[in-house]
């Protein structure tokens, strides 16, 4: 039932996706997605690999160019010709599976680059904000460290700080813990939990079902480029209505 | 043994010809100071144009690079030096030599930078662009610094090649080191000045070899 909205905060949605389609050559990866995300909502997207979850996220900041449909972020039509996509992207934080930190810059350098070049802060102000962002991910003491001196969990938290520092309206997480050793996953999830508590709007593509169950406002199950089913986590995990959802959850929890 | 000293290490000739060769040495240094930075900057520009993935630009760059890499630099030099004045373009000798060298070296530097830029994973681009950096900002602040580091050994050896390569200017009578050494050899009927020139090249290049390899090690250590 597309269009269902979580009841966290009334008001206009932060993310509004309508009829979104994306094809790579003859392969249609997204077959008409409708999705509304309210302010402060944490939406979890689950589904088998190849179901189009990542592509959906990447269409929301135009890292991937949608084939058709509409995407509004905080009221801005990001596909409109007149839209300055770089200005919009500043308001959409993205966290990647492989962290993608800049290896030639320190943690602070990673966090401050866009603050200086996109937000236009002078270096001292950018560094102040950078330190605040690193503090929020509990890495204040690693400001001078290079990425190769950090653990995977720490790298991912720096990547989160890099996005957070720009004070985005929404954060997109693309399998943020999939590349991490199991013992490092917790620190990243803890940061995400804090962000949720402080009111950040988040869309998370992930296989961390326990985290979804405990932290998500809404869970969306995607398969073959469509939203098959969505609802509160208790219902999706406890009493899924669709056969495909049940089959997927069974395969995940049987591991 | 005496014949060797007489012909290659003739001290009186060395003393007599030293100021003459020194003037050539300065010209060689000036050539290097112009050709190397210009080659690096234009090579980087060529590689960046290629990386735009705009088809027309890409093809123009491929034609440019392929042409100047396969066109004999000697002929190019003669052509620019003697040919351009014939079509009414009178350039000072230094400028036409530098232009000819730049066309050649930029294509080599360009190929090196292209390989470096292509070695940077897509994720770096995506991370930078997702924070709102423009294509050019991403290139300048994220991609090129890493790319240059990845191809530093190739940049170093190409730079040394280019510096030795400036000796080619002797064919158009440009008074750089090799040209002056050849003149001195003619004047003295003795090849000692060539050995002197070799010594001067060594003095010029060897510290640079050391310096660059130290810089390379430092840059690799940072990663």
The CA distances from residue B87 to A83, B76, B90, B177, in Å, are 49, 15, 9, 30
Look at residue A34 and give its three-state secondary structure. strand
Smallest Cβ distance to A104: which of B123, B129, B146? B146
Query: Does any CB of chain B come closer than 8 Å to the CB of residue A150?
Result: no
Q: How far apart are CA B175 and CA B133, in angstroms?
A: 48
Helix axis angle, B192-222 to B177-188, nearest 10°? 160
Q: Is the pLDDT of residue A173 over 80?
A: yes
Closest to A111 in 3D by CA, of A134, A139, A83, A86: A134
> Do residues A95 and A171 make contact, with C-beta atoms less than 8 angstroms apart?
yes
Distance from CA of B31 to the nearest CA of A (A): 33
Q: Which pLDDT band, with edges at 50, 70 and 90, does A228 fall under?
A: very high
pLDDT, residue B6, reads 86
Q: Judge whether A92 is closer than 8 Å to chain B, CB to CB.
A: yes
Query: What's the confidence (pLDDT) of residue B52?
Result: 92
- pLDDT tens-place string over residues A5-64: 544 445 789 999 999 999 999 999 999 999 999 999 999 999 998 899 999 999 999 999
How close B70 gets to chain A, by Cα (Å)? 35
CB contact under 8 A, A159 and B133: no
| Mean pLDDT computed over B17-46 | 94
The DSSP secondary-structure symbol of A15 reads E
**Global pTM value:** 0.88
Among candidate residues B108, B94, B75, the one with its CA nearest the CA of residue B34 = B94
The pLDDT confidence band at residue B63, using thresholds 50, 70 and 90, is very high
Please report the pLDDT score of residue A72 as a whole number: 96
Mutate to test the interface with A, among B129, B130, B152 (most CBs of A within 10 A): B130
CB within 8 Å of A24: residues ≥ 6 apart: none
Tell whether the model's pLDDT for residue B111 goes beyond 80. yes
Neighbours of A254 (CB within 10 A): 6
Question: B168 with B74: CB under 8 angstroms?
Answer: yes
pLDDT at A229: 95
Per residue in A111-143, pLDDT tens?
Answer: 999 999 999 999 999 999 999 999 999 999 999
Helices (H), B119-176: 122-130, 135-138, 144-150, 152-165
pLDDT value for A7: 47
CB of B58 within 8 Å of any CB in chain A? no
Q: Work out the angle between the directed axes of helices B11-51 and B152-165 (0-180°, nearest 10).
A: 130
* Whole-number pLDDT of residue A255: 55
State the Cα–Cα distance between residues B107 and B64, nearest whole angstrom. Answer: 7
Query: What is the residue extent of each domain of chain B?
Result: 2-222
Cα A122 from Cα A126, distance rounded (Å): 6
Task: Give the pLDDT confidence score for residue B222 in this predicted structure.
Answer: 56
* Smallest CA–CA distance from B148 into chain A, residue: A104
Cβ contact, residue pair B124, A100, below 8 Å = yes
Say what the pLDDT of residue A126 is.
Answer: 97
If residue A143 lies in a helix (H) or strand (E), which one and from where to where? none
Q: pLDDT tens-digit profile of A206-224?
A: 999 999 999 999 999 999 9
pLDDT of residue A249: 92
A94 touches B: beta carbon within 8 Å: yes
Q: What is the mean pLDDT of residues A227-255?
A: 91
The predicted pLDDT at position A194 comes to: 94
Determine the pLDDT at residue A10: 56
Q: Are strands A15-24 and A68-73 parallel, antiparallel or unpaired?
A: antiparallel
Average pLDDT over residues B128-142: 97
| Residue B89, pLDDT above cutoff 60 | yes
Q: For CA atoms A98, A104, A109, A113, give the dihedral sign.
A: negative
Per-residue pLDDT, averaged over A164-190, amounts to 95
Spatial separation of the C-alpha atoms in residues B24 and A241, rounded to whole Å? 87
| Interval B142-190: pLDDT, tens | 999 999 999 988 998 899 999 998 998 888 888 889 999 999 999 999 9
CB A105 within 8 A of CB A130: no
Using CB atoms, pick whichever of B124, B126, B134 lies closest to residue A102. B124
Could A166 and B132 be called an inter-chain contact, meaning their C-beta atoms sit closer than 8 Å?
Answer: yes
3-state secondary structure of A236: helix
Chain A touched by B130 (CB under 8 Å): yes
By the 10 Å C-beta count (0-12 exposed, 13-18 middle, 19+ buried), B134 is classed as middle
Which ipTM was obtained for this model?
0.91
Centre a 10 Å sphere on the Cβ of residue B221 and count the other Cβ atoms it contains: 7
Distances B53 to B26, B40, B135, B137 between C-alpha atoms, Å = 42, 21, 11, 16
- Distance of residue B129 Cα from the nearest chain A Cα, in angstroms: 8
CB contact under 8 A, A89 and B124: no
The residue of chain A with its CA nearest to that of B143 is A102
Can you name the residues that pair with A202 across neighbouring β-strands?
Answer: A42, A171
What is the CB neighbour count within 10 angstroms for residue B11? 9
Inter-chain touch B222–A146, beta carbons under 8 Å: yes
Provide the pLDDT for residue B44.
96
pLDDT at A1: 40
Q: What percent of chain A has pLDDT over 70?
A: 95
Q: By CB neighbour count within 10 A (0-12 exposed, 13-18 middle, 19+ buried), where does B53 fall?
A: exposed
- Say yes or no to pLDDT of A100 above 50: yes
> With 60 as the cut, is the pLDDT of residue B27 above it?
yes
**At A17, phi and psi to the nearest 5?**
-110, 130
The reply to whether B143 touches chain A by the CB within 8 Å rule is no
Tell if the CB–CB gap between A146 and B145 is shorter than 8 Å: no
Residues 6+ apart with CB under 8 A from A224: A31, A51, A52
Q: Is A102 a residue whose pLDDT tops 90?
A: yes
Strand, helix or coil for residue A230: strand
Residue of A nearest to B220 (CA): A104
Q: How far is CA A79 from CA A36, A119, B159, in A?
A: 16, 21, 46
CATH tag, B2-222: 1.10.3720.10
- Chain B contact for A102, CB < 8 A? yes
Tell me the C-alpha to C-alpha distance, in Å, between residue B119 and each of A140, B144, B170. Answer: 32, 10, 38
* pLDDT higher than threshold 80 for residue A171: yes
Q: What is the sign of the dihedral through the CA atoms of B89, B164, B75 and B105? A: negative
Lowest mean pLDDT among A81-85, B7-11, B38-42: B7-11
| Closest Cα in chain A to B142 | A102
| CB-nearest partner of A100 from B126, B134, B145 | B126
Instruction: Give the CA distances from residue A44 to residues A34, A39, A118, A209, B132, in Å, rounded to whole numbers and listed in that order.
Output: 15, 14, 29, 9, 24
Contact A103 B146 (CB under 8 A): yes
Among the ranges given (A125-129, A166-170, B88-92), the one the predictor scored with the smallest mean pLDDT: B88-92
């Amino acid at each position: 039932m597309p269009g269902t909205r979580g009841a966290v905060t009334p008001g206009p949605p932060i993310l509004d996706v309508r009829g979104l389609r994306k094809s790579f050559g003859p392969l249609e990866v997204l077959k008409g997605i409708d999705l509304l995300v309210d302010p402060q909502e944490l939406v979890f997207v689950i589904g088998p690999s190849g179901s189009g979850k990542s592509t959906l996220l990447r269409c929301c900041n135009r890292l991937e160019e949608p084939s058709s449909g509409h995407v509004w972020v905080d009221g801005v039509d990001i596909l409109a010709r007149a839209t300055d996509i770089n200005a919009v992207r500043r308001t959409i934080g993205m966290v990647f599976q492989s962290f993608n930190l800049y290896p030639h810059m320190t943690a602070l350098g990673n966090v401050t680059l866009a603050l200086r070049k996109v937000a236009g802060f002078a270096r001292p102000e950018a560094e102040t904000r950078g330190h605040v962002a690193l503090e929020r991910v509990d890495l204040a003491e690693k400001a001078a460290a290079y990425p190769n001196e950090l653990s995977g969990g720490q790298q991912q938290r720096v990547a989160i700080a890099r996005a957070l520092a720009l004070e985005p309206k929404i954060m997109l997480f693309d399998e943020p813990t999939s590349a991490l050793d199991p013992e490092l996953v917790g620190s990243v999830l803890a940061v995400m939990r804090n962000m949720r508590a402080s009111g950040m709007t988040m869309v998370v593509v992930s296989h961390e079902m326990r985290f979804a169950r405990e932290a998500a406002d809404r869970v969306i199950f995607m398969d073959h480029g469509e939203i098959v089913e969505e609802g509160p986590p208790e219902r999706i995990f406890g009493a899924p209505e669709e056969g495909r959802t049940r089959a997927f959850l069974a395969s995940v929890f049987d591991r | 043994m005496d014949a060797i000293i007489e012909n290659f290490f003739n001290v009186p000739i060395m003393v007599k010809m030293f100021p003459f060769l020194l003037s050539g040495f300065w010209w060689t240094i000036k050539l290097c100071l112009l050709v190397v930075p210009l080659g690096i900057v234009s090579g980087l520009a060529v590689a960046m144009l290629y990386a735009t993935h705009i088809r027309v630009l890409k093809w123009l760059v491929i034609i440019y690079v392929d042409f100047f890499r396969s066109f004999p630099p000697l002929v190019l030099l003669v052509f620019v030096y003697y040919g351009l004045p014939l079509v009414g373009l009178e350039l000072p000798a230094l400028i036409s030599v530098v232009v000819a060298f730049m066309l050649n070296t930029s294509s080599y530097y360009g190929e090196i930078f292209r390989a470096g830029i292509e070695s940077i994973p897509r994720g770096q681009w995506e991370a930078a662009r997702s924070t709102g950096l423009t294509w050019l900002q991403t290139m300048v602040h994220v991609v090129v610094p890493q790319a240059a580091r990845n191809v530093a050994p190739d940049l170093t050896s190409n730079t040394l090649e280019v510096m030795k390569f400036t000796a080619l200017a002797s064919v158009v009578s440009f008074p750089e080191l090799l040209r002056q050494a050849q003149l001195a050899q003619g004047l003295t009927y003795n090849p000692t000045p060539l050995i002197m020139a070799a010594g001067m090249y060594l003095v010029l290049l060897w510290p640079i070899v050391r310096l660059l390899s130290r810089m390379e090690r430092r840059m690799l250590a940072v990663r």
